[in-house]
Structure 1
């Protein structure tokens, strides 16, 4: 084997550089990006602030997945 065979080859798309400048975003696009960022932050905050259930059944939600028993015992809410 030669040294060229041992080194990973770079794909042609990685080697091609584009000379097109980045376009300026429209005000609507900037607002949409800002709103999406706010939603992500709110989602992360809500995920952190939710408390874990103490003594809960664990596992998937039975109302959603139809799993109404644990270890052969029927469960009720």
Structure 2
């Protein structure tokens, strides 16, 4: 039987760990800010599309 043979990952540098922690903090702050917003009437369903810096309309993504 084939076993899942994955090679061990290279340890992250301190700078990479710091960058990942900062990105997680930014995501948490954005999520907290979105919870405080008033409910949009007749808005789009799903997560806020501008959260990741782009907007999708009819399958075409554009960025600001």
Does residue 1:18 correspond to 2:5, yes or no?
yes
Q: More relative contact order in 1 or in 2 (CA 8 Å, sep 6+)? A: 2
Number of aligned residue pairs: give it: 44
| Segments of 4+ moved more than 6 angstroms | none
State how far apart, in whole Å, the 2-side matches of 1:27 and 1:42 are: 23
Instruction: Name which one, 1 or 2, has greater alpha-carbon Rg.
Output: 1
Q: Structure 1: which 5+ runs fail to align? A: 1-14, 61-77
Instruction: Report the RMSD for the aligned CA atoms in angstroms.
Output: 2.5
State how far apart, in whole Å, the 2-side matches of 1:51 and 1:59 are: 12
| Partner residue, 2:29 | 42
State how far apart, in whole Å, the 1-side matches of 2:35 and 2:43 are: 19
Higher strand share: 2
Output the TM-score relative to the length of structure 2.
Answer: 0.51
Output the TM-score relative to the length of structure 1.
Answer: 0.43
